[in-house]
Amino acid sequence: MQSFFYDRATHANQAVGLAQQPDSRFIAGGTNLLDLMKNDVMHASRLIDLNRAGLEAIAATADGGLSLGALARNSDTANHPLVRQRYPLLSQALLAGASAQVRNMATNGGNLMQRTRCYYFTDPAFTRCNKRVPGSGCAAMEGINRIHAILGASAACIATHPSDLCVALAALDAVVVVCGPQGERRIPIQEFHRLPGDQPQVDTVLAPGELITAILLGPSPFAEHSHYLKVRDRASYAFALVSVAVGLALAGGVVYQAAVALGGVAAKPWRIPGAEAPLLGQRPGTREFDRRAAAVAETLLAGARPFKGNQFKIPLAHRSIVRALQLAGRSPGGAA
């Protein structure tokens, strides 16, 4: 790892001020950043440590929602009583990610900022990667692309965003609170990550020096019926090939609100506004509900474009969506 200077921030505003120094980066858990710095994939002349910046609070909000501090650890978030009771989908997604050790280090803000696990990005032995070296090409396009995107990719990049948490946040319509030199702004989670387009090196809409301070959740009607389904090569400690976050709100056994988000298929959590509409008024456990679930899958996967190694992801995603909807409809709290 190359040498760098180190600053410790004790307040969000101070951290943003320190980040105005050239070639500086924030470090929170460090589980992804240090890994990539060791591999010479990412660099910084100065790291600004956020771990004592006082951003770890998880607290109920006045509107009945929840504010998740950007520096709250994944483990603390997943096991917070209010998260487990009101947002079991979020707990499930967090616990499906990484290992216990990593979850004790990794933070909520850092989870949003993590980079793709595309092999051609994480290993500089590969010379072509537009995300790492803009203009160098994309080796994944013609290479091993089993784990890559089927939606929203571009001619420049077919990488996926690896997060589980973000998929659940997309289903819950979370809002990211950001602090920068110009003050605070709020970004809906669906607008936080970018599709690659012709600038795959830019993962998010954050401006240089902007800092995530919190993630806001509104009151959720999905506590009784939600499910996070993660399909992967190993049963534990592996990234998703496909994941689905589902929330259903039922009254009298009938769906009146639904949210479905897909992970492992694009550079951002995948949602289509209104895709869940066929489920409204339906009763989980019926043949008609399953038929409507398949229609939701069709809508979400419309325009999917596979590559040589990941054609399997289209039927896998389709079946995963249907299965996650069935499980959410069946099981209080998302029990499998």
Partner 1 sequence: MSRRDFLQCAATTVSAASLPLAVAPVFTPTPVPTAAPVPAPFAEPVTVVLVVNGKRHELGLEPRVTLLDALRETLGLTGTKKGCDHGQCGACTVLVDGRRINACLTLAIMHEGEAITTVEGLARDGRLAPLQAAFIESDAFQCGYCTPGQLCSATALLAEFRAGDASAVSADVRQPQPVATEAEIRERMSGNLCRCGAYPNIVAAVRTVATAR
Among positions 22-51, residues that touch partner 1 (CB under 8 A) are: 22-23, 27, 29-31, 34-35, 38, 43, 45-47, 49, 51
Closest contact distance (angstroms) between CB of 53 and partner 1 is 10
Closest contact distance (angstroms) between CB of 306 and partner 1 is 25
Give phi and psi for 167, each to the nearest 5: -70, -45
Interface with partner 1: number of residues (CB under 8 A): 90
Interface with partner 1 (CB under 8 A), residue from 202, 277, 280, 302: 202
Interface with partner 1 (CB under 8 A), residue from 25, 117, 137, 197: 197
Site for partner 1 contains 184 (CB under 8 A): yes
* Spatial contact of 259 and 235, defined as CB atoms under 8 Å apart: no
What residues numbered 50-89 form the site for partner 1, per CB under 8 A? 51, 54, 57, 59-63, 65, 67, 75, 78-79, 84-85, 88
Closest contact distance (angstroms) between CB of 114 and partner 1 is 12
How, if at all, do strands 242-251 and 254-263 pair? antiparallel
Query: Starting at the edge strand that comes first in sequence, how are the strands of the sheet with 24-27 ordered?
Result: 5-8, 46-49, 24-27
What residues numbered 257-316 form the site for partner 1, per CB under 8 A? none
The amino acid at residue 21 is Q
Of 288, 306, 231, 218, the closest CA to residue 259 belongs to 218
- Binding piece for partner 1, criterion CB under 8 A, among 173-181, 244-252, 266-274, 287-295: 173-181
Site for partner 1 contains 221 (CB under 8 A): no
Report the residue number, 31 or 310, with the smaller CB distance to partner 1: 31
- Binding piece for partner 1, criterion CB under 8 A, among 95-103, 245-253, 278-286, 295-303: 95-103
* Spatial contact of 143 and 63, defined as CB atoms under 8 Å apart: no
Alpha-carbon span 134 to 314, nearest angstrom? 29
| Residues pairing with 130 in the sheet | none
The DSSP secondary-structure symbol of 78 reads H
* Spatial contact of 328 and 246, defined as CB atoms under 8 Å apart: yes
Site for partner 1 contains 4 (CB under 8 A): yes
Of 155, 266, 150, 157, the closest CA to residue 201 belongs to 157
Report the residue number, 180 or 306, with the smaller CB distance to partner 1: 180
